[in-house]
Structure 1
Amino acid sequence: MKAICFYFQIHQPFRLKTYRFFDIGNDHYYYDDFSNDDIITRIAQRSYLPANEMLLNMIKENGKNFKVAFSISGTALEQLEQYVPEFIDSMKELVDTGCVEFLSETYAHSLASLEDQDEFVQQVKDHDNKIYQLFGQHPKVFRNTELIYDDDISAVVASMGFNGVITDGAKHILGWKSPNYIYNSPVVPKLKLLLKNSKLSDDIAFRFSNSEWASYPLTADKYINWIAELPEEEQIVNLFMNYETFGELQPRESGIFEFMKALPRFAAQKGIQFWTPSEVVAKMKPVDQLSVMHPISWADEERDTSAWLGNTLQQEAVHKLYSIGERVRLCRDRRIKQDWYYLQASDHFFYMSTKHSQDGSVHSHYSPYDSPYMAFTNYMNVLSDFIIRVEEQYPETIDNEELNSLLLTIRNQETEISELKHEVEMMRNNIVKDTTGDFPVTGSEEPAKSTVKAAAPARPRAKAKKATARTTATKKK
């Protein structure tokens, strides 16, 4: 028996406004609100909302026989809540069917897994809290930014309690092996790996409306036949793609919605099921270990991290950003925390790429800048201002360990003061209760001084320390 595992990515960054050198130190708001509103509203109207309606109808028609999974970044959820709240409502309606699963990822769709392990763990926690807050689910399977993965990341992911991780079935990692099996990590054998079938995924996401493609037009029955004809032992086909595939990358006029709607009917005829990632993890056993010594992703032909770290501009920007990570985590300023997350979005570094795909358009297609150099300059201006704000609170002249020690001392003192105040209040209440026989008083209901003084000799068994404390408390009154 074969099964299809659909997973859709939704992510939108907070795009930066034009920020010049002379704005540094003067303007602390970095975002292009008009573009952010316009882009996510347009994509939601053309893609996210009609695609949600399509999936809901498919689930109603096929019941539990059709299931999908989503990975939605925290920054995308924030924008959707702000600009397209009806999307959140439609997603909750999908969740109520019991046929939709949410995956875990980094809140900011960041590169933290490659640069800062503490930040990586914190962002995953924040993301999963957001998912639970909005949709009532605790993600069980992890999916990193752009499917970035290696053996070191697998150890961190497993330590956070996940039993499955989604990544790309990169050819240079698989070799002769097929992506249509479950593998496991050699570092943490209990962690199962679900690998993207790039050929079948990209047939839908990128080639569907290409009239020059040899298999054009792609129909649902043809596509299901391809899956059914795979070797019998290849039992899982992971189809991972951006949710914008429906209505944005592949326009409605191409027939992409009709194609998708017809898939469950033809799959049922071939005995092919639809599973969520957690079902795949629960039902299937690994056939082999798969070692990934260097990070892979689902980007570009290379399937590595060069889309974000491939040139000196990107490397400089990323290293400069994460050099202040420890100080930012010590900070309690809400605005700094928020900007810290927004500036980590991998998109900012993607725009700086000088790579060219086969048609030379992939990176430039998504970039709001005229060149990678403009993207770098604008980002570094913003980052310079952000670093100034961080250092105003936590000066660079104090090293991280000393700063952390000072802050820990301050916080411990705050806790101790709070505990002492609580003890004083409890003693005041006990004094009044012992002398009057009434219930403890709180707030402004203070006992008369004469009542407290009369109470002192009435408790000869009290320890000297407590008696002293009472006397002190009485004097303070």
Structure 2
Amino acid sequence: MKTICLYFEIHQIIHLKRYRFFDIGVDHYYYDDFENERSINDIANRSYMPALNTLLDMIKSNGNYFKVAFSLSGVGMEQLEMHAPQVLEKLQELNDTGCVEFLAEPYSHGLSSLANEDTFANDVKKQCVKIEEYFGKKPTVLRNSSLIYSDDIGGQVAAMGFKGMLTEGAKHVLGWKSPHYVYNCNIAPNLKLLLRDVELSDDISLRFNNSEWDRYPLFADNYINRIAAFPEEERIINIFMELSALGIAQPLSSNILEFIKALPACARAKDITFSTPSEICSSVKSVGSLDVPDTLSWVDEERDVSCWLGNAMQRDAFNKLYSVADRVRIANNPRICQDWDYLQASNNFRFMTTKPASVGLDRGIYSSAFDAFTNYMNILGDFLNRVNSLYPEDIDNEELNGLLTTIKNQGDEIEMKDKEIIRLKAKIEKMQATEDKLKAKVEKAAAAKKATTRKATAKAADAKTESK
């Protein structure tokens, strides 16, 4: 029996403000708050809320039959907390149905998996903690930023304890193979891989409203019929996209939500089910390993990382940012760490691309790739100065790590001694209370004895007087 794994990504760009060279060392706040609030409310109203309401209705109408998965970047969740908390509340309502799975991903939606293993692990761990706080369950399947994957990254993900990972069913990786099977990581066989069906996913997210497309208009029954027509052994159909495709990339006026809403009924008629990524990873065996020596993603025709690291400007910005990755992690300063998350976001490097793309790129406030590079590097210059000012620059990372470890150990030792002092004080107070109680008891007994003696003496004196 075939099953559809439907997954949506939720991430929000953190818009940087215009930051001049002369702001370096003077202004340490880098963000356009007005644009951040405006853009996320626009997306929430035009896409997230209508789409989530539709998905909730689909679950309620179909019981446990219809299932869906989401991943949310940590920085996106922070923006939702500040400006559109109703989206998170709706996601919690979806979670309560038991038909939704939330996946792990890097908190920053950044490129740390390409730069620094420890930073990548911390990035994912931080997002998992936030997901568990909101939805009560720790993710077991990971989706890297933009489905970035390679054998080495798969090995890192497996070492973190994840049982599955989502990535792109790219033709140059699959060759003659089909994306409709479960595969496993080449160097970590226990990590299962779910591969996005590029054509089926892009038919919805990119082409649905294109009147010049040869399949326009796309109807739910025809779409499901194509899935049903796949060979019987091709059982796993992974349809992955951004949630903003429903309402932004494909406007609501295109009837995109009506199309989505009709999918379960059409699928049920063809004996096609819906499953979450973890259900597939738990119940379906891998047909073999997938060899991915070079990094792939779901972006552009090349399905690689050239949209972020394809030119000298991007690589220079990337290398300078991650040159302080270990110092940021070691220092663990709250304000620095927040800026670190926002500056890592992959869109900062995407704005610097000079390569043509089939999908239009909105650079926001930037007039060109060089303009985006210049603004980012000004901000990065101030950020690097702040990181290096935390501790003397002549202390290397190993020495700094040792210093901070010593400080932490001393702090732990002081804390233990403080606890011991408190314990001993409590013991002394208890002993003092016991002593005072015993002393009072002895004094009371002595007073009673004295009173008895006085009484006996008085009685004897009275008896002597009477005998006379």
TM-score (norm 2): 0.91
Q: After superposition, what is the alpha-carbon deviation per residue over 1:228-262, rounded to whole angstroms, capped at 9, x for unaligned? A: 00111100110000101111110111110111111
Q: In the alignment, is residue 269 of structure 1 matched against residue 260 of structure 2?
A: no
1:28 is matched with: 28
Structure 2: gaps of 5 or more residues = 437-468
2:38 is matched with: 38
Q: After superposition, what is the alpha-carbon deviation per residue over 1:85-130, rounded to whole angstroms, capped at 9, x for unaligned? A: 1111111111111111001000000100010110100011110111
1:444 is matched with: none
Give the residue type in structure 2 aligned to 1:352.
Answer: M
The residue correspondences of 1:30-429 to structure 2 (distance < 5 A) are: 30-358=30-358, 362=360, 364-365=361-362, 367-429=364-426
Contact 1:327/1:394, CA 8 A, preserved across alignment: no
Distance in 2, matches of 1:86 and 1:410, equals: 42
Give the residue type in structure 2 aligned to 1:205.
Answer: S
Distance in 2, matches of 1:325 and 1:422, equals: 35
Q: After superposition, what is the alpha-carbon deviation per residue over 1:415-471, rounded to whole angstroms, capped at 9, x for unaligned? A: 2222222223323333343344179xxxxxxxxxxxxxxxxxxxxxxxxxxxxxxxx
Distance in 2, matches of 1:150 and 1:438, equals: 72
Secondary structure at 1:239's aligned position in 2?
strand
Distance in 1, matches of 2:429 and 2:374, equals: 68
Q: Cα distance 1:432–1:58, how it changes in 2: closer, same or farther (>3 A)? A: closer
1:468 is matched with: none
| The 10-residue stretch of structure 1 (396-405 or 141-150) with the greater mean CA deviation from structure 2 | 396-405
Distance in 2, matches of 1:281 and 1:130, equals: 23
Distance in 1, matches of 2:426 and 2:101, equals: 52
Distance in 2, matches of 1:344 and 1:109, equals: 7
Secondary structure at 2:336's aligned position in 1?
helix
Q: Cα distance 1:322–1:217, how it changes in 2: closer, same or farther (>3 A)? A: same
Distance in 1, matches of 2:386 and 2:325, equals: 13
Q: After superposition, what is the alpha-carbon deviation per residue over 1:247-283, rounded to whole angstroms, capped at 9, x for unaligned? A: 1110111110111111111111100001111111112
Greater Rg by CA: 2
2:444 is matched with: none
* Superposed CA RMSD: 1.2
Give the residue type in structure 2 aligned to 1:396.
Answer: E
Distance in 1, matches of 2:344 and 2:350, equals: 11
Q: After superposition, what is the alpha-carbon deviation per residue over 1:324-380, rounded to whole angstroms, capped at 9, x for unaligned? A: 11111122431111101111000100100001014xx53x33544111101000000
Q: After superposition, what is the alpha-carbon deviation per residue over 1:161-202, rounded to whole angstroms, capped at 9, x for unaligned? A: 111000000111100000001111121111110000001100
Q: Cα distance 1:116–1:178, how it changes in 2: closer, same or farther (>3 A)? A: same
Secondary structure at 1:429's aligned position in 2?
helix
Give the residue type in structure 1 aligned to 2:116.
Answer: D
1:431 is matched with: 428
Distance in 2, matches of 1:307 and 1:184, equals: 26
Secondary structure at 2:319's aligned position in 1?
helix
Distance in 2, matches of 1:428 and 1:57, equals: 61
Contact 1:432/1:438, CA 8 A, preserved across alignment: no
Secondary structure at 2:352's aligned position in 1?
coil
Q: After superposition, what is the alpha-carbon deviation per residue over 1:389-434, rounded to whole angstroms, capped at 9, x for unaligned? A: 1111122211111111122112222222222222233233333433
Distance in 2, matches of 1:33 and 1:355, equals: 29
Count how many residue pairs are aligned between Structure 1 and Structure 2: 436
Secondary structure at 1:14's aligned position in 2?
coil
| The 10-residue stretch of structure 1 (278-287 or 346-355) with the greater mean CA deviation from structure 2 | 278-287
Give the residue type in structure 1 aligned to 2:244.
Answer: E
Give the residue type in structure 1 aligned to 2:142.
Answer: F
Give the residue type in structure 2 aligned to 1:52.
Answer: L
Shift in Å, 1:76:
0.7
| The 10-residue stretch of structure 1 (65-74 or 390-399) with the greater mean CA deviation from structure 2 | 390-399
